[in-house]
Amino acid sequence: MTVYIVGAGPGDPELLTLKALKLIREADVILYDELIGDDIKELLKKESRAMLVDVGKRSGKHRKKQEEINRLLVEYGRKHEKVVRLKGGDPFVFGRGGEEIEILAENKIEFEVVPGITSAIAVPAYAGIPVTHRRFDPALIFITGKQERERLNWDALARLNATIVMLMGVSSLKENAERLIKHGKSPDTPVAVIEKGTTEKQRVIKGKLSDIAEIAEREKVEAPAIIIIGEVVEVHETVRDYLRNLRTP
């Protein structure tokens, strides 16, 4: 009996790994997140014989709390041969996969982790924004927009010459942009917000750190979205007309 902690990638079913698809087809039970996206949900219905358990979580709309998900993983892990915990992106990039493997280990349940393509890299790539580029900032930082326990050193973050990729940051975009400016980040820093990246509903909204929150509000941007803060955003304008997988107007 094994529980597989599987990354589903950023939303495009063609970005699922071969191993993820194999386990989807073989699983007895699949506990899946909201953020796997509608296309992956449809694939589950077509490709899987498993019992499907929706444990989706999105800001303010939790079907299951993390404690309940942990309990279900242990319960199903003890009863079934193959249990898949299907998570959006990569399980270990702001996905609470680390917490889940700790629970499994504490309960002496064998597990395997199957990495997924994280949206932090894939979504900007689909929009023609390289998260690293020799001409721009020499460092890359991933952060979450949800700072529930205020552990970020905003002063250090704002002053570091690094591209910042923010996940789960739509609802706190205004607050976080103001924090970065307050701590020394230039208000003119280019910012892109990519909504529903790698799907047919993908949109790219651009602005500056000083006005991106206002623009995003005006454009009614919704989660899920990836926020890229840095000069690399400028590449989008140069390449967009020649990028075949760019799905923005």
3-class DSSP assignment, residue 183: coil
pLDDT at residue number 148: 61
pTM of the model: 0.90
pLDDT at residue number 1: 84
pLDDT at residue number 30: 97
Instruction: Supply φ then ψ for residue 32, to 5 degrees.
Output: -120, 150
Exposure of 140 in the CB half-sphere (CA atoms within 13 A): 12
For the annotated catalytic residues, the residue numbers are: 33, 57, 168
Burial call 163-173: b when 16+ CB within 10 Å, e when fewer: bbbbbbbbebb
Given a cut of 70, is residue 34 above it in pLDDT? yes
Given a cut of 50, is residue 247 above it in pLDDT? no
Does the fold of domain 120-242 match that of domain 2-117? no
Determine the Cα–Cα distance for residues 135 and 85; give it in Å rounded to an integer.
40
Burial-class residue 127 by CB neighbours within 10 Å (0-12, 13-18, 19+).
buried
Given a cut of 50, is residue 77 above it in pLDDT? yes
Each residue of 98-133: pLDDT tens digit? 999 999 999 999 999 999 999 999 999 999 999 999
pLDDT at residue number 191: 98
Please list the alpha-helical segments (H only) found in 160-233.
173-182, 212-218
pLDDT at residue number 248: 43
Residue 40: count of CB within 10 angstroms of its CB:
24
Determine the Cα–Cα distance for residues 164 and 98; give it in Å rounded to an integer.
23
Please list the alpha-helical segments (H only) found in the chain.
18-26, 38-47, 66-79, 97-106, 119-126, 154-159, 173-182, 212-218, 234-239
For domain 2-117, give the fold: Cobalt-precorrin-4 Transmethylase; domain 1 (3.40.1010)
Instruction: Select from 41, 16, 248, 231 the least CA-distant residue to 129.
Output: 231
Question: What is the CATH code for 120-242?
Answer: 3.30.950.10
The residue ranges of every structural domain in the chain are: 2-117, 120-242
Exposure of 67 in the CB half-sphere (CA atoms within 13 A): 0
Each residue of 173-216: pLDDT tens digit? 999 999 999 999 999 999 999 999 999 899 999 999 999 999 99
Instruction: For residue 146, name the pLDDT band (cuts at 50, 70, 90).
Output: confident
